[in-house]
Structure 1
Amino acid sequence: MAEPGDRAEVDTLHEREWGGPYVIAHDTRYDLRTLPTLVAVDGAGAVVGALAYRCDAEGLEVVSLVAAVPGAGAGTTLLEVAASTAWAAGLPRLWLIAGNDNLRALCFYQQRGLCLVGVDPGGGEPGAPPEAGDPVRRGGRHPAARRADPGAAYRCRQLTAGAG
């Protein structure tokens, strides 16, 4: 279960990564504060990552994945929990969109078993407005259980939309 301070810590991560609580994906503006969110916490209970998602008939879409320290394993843990959440709900796939120019993210998702299923030409070009719908769409089966730091032990808890 989410802790009272989780919302503020998650909002801080979103501010650092996205400049605030809003992201645009496939011509839709999402307020991350209104989406179900998985929160990764370390052994001391500090928030080290967050994955905001939405579900529909297509599956579970990862709308935002942020980690306090990239490469420490929180993102992998969150992606694995999101995949388990999707499969437990009987959803057909886990999918997301990443900008064409976000090579770190593209590599991260491919290393965890997701596969590229489409490229929007011109995506990620400088000056392209976010509303232009220039994402790389990704989809795939359950991510492989490979961690950047095999010794990292993160727990996940659910942050209910609007909680905090």
Structure 2
Amino acid sequence: MASPDHGTTHRLIVRPLNADDIAWVRELFTDRWGGVVSVSRGVAHDTTALPGFVAHLDGERAGVATYRIEGRECELVTLDSVREGAGAGTALVDAVAAAAHVAGAVRLWLITTNDNLRALRFYQKYGFDLVALHRDAVARSRTLKPSIPEAGLDGIPIRHELELELLLPPSTGTAR
């Protein structure tokens, strides 16, 4: 059986996150993740204060990514696709990787939790490698963000942080 979108061409545009997007991001992250704070490797991030990109599909917001650059590394802090399977997630990671590259980063990395099998599949298909298991890190993260549930997707207990990375080619530009 064909999907309703079969044969339909969608217009996907990715642009930098701006002040007009913050209320939408706040609502999206509160609904999906219990607030705008994201915790990775023991650090709490206010995602509404980070740079990012928004994907628009046929004029509607279809996803958002936020990131932070520190030295020659870029952390993909959040990636959220409202309409899965339309390419928004891939386009957003492409945009973050390009911004990281221009800034001179050689490593794009992220944290996901052990229950998030869809994200793990997506990132590995994109080209990320699983490079670390931070055992029981989520218990420590709950001290910074108590709203992290005990169980996540498919009822899997949320316990560990999984670190994935994508090595970027060295930048030949002068941006620093």
Match of 1:17 among 16, 32, 54: 32
Higher relative contact order by CA 8 Å / sep ≥ 6: 1 or 2?
1
For each residue in 1:59-109, what CA deviation from the matched residue of structure 2 results, as whole angstroms up to 9, or x when unmatched? 110111111122221111100111111111111111101112211111110
Distance 1:110 1:2, change over 3 A: closer
How far 1:141 moved relative to its partner?
Answer: 3.0
Distance in structure 1 (CA, Å) of the matches to 2:85 and 2:72: 29
Decide whether the 8 Å contact of 1:17 with 1:66 is kept in 2.
no
Distance in structure 2 (CA, Å) of the matches to 1:64 and 1:31: 11
Distance 1:3 1:24, change over 3 A: closer
Q: TM-score, normalised by structure 1?
A: 0.75
Q: TM-score, normalised by structure 2?
A: 0.70
Residue aligning to 1:108: 122
Distance 1:15 1:115, change over 3 A: same
Match of 1:30 among 25, 33, 45: 45
- Of all paired residues, the percent bearing the same amino acid is 35
Quote the RMSD (CA, aligned, Å): 2.2
Alignment of 1:57-96 (within 5 A): 57-96=71-110
Alignment of 1:119-134 (within 5 A): 119-122=133-136, 128=139, 130-131=141-142, 134=160
Residue aligning to 1:56: 70
How far 1:43 moved relative to its partner?
Answer: 2.6
How far 1:25 moved relative to its partner?
Answer: 0.9
Alignment of 1:33-48 (within 5 A): 33-44=48-59, 46-48=60-62
Which residue identity lines up with residue 130 of structure 1 in the other structure?
S
Residue aligning to 1:138: 164
How far 1:122 moved relative to its partner?
Answer: 4.4
Provide runs of 4+ in structure 1 moved above 2 Å: 1-5, 120-124, 128-134
Structure whose residues are more often helix by fraction: 2
Distance in structure 2 (CA, Å) of the matches to 1:123 and 1:107: 21
Give the length in aligned residue pairs: 138
Higher-Rg member (1/2): 2
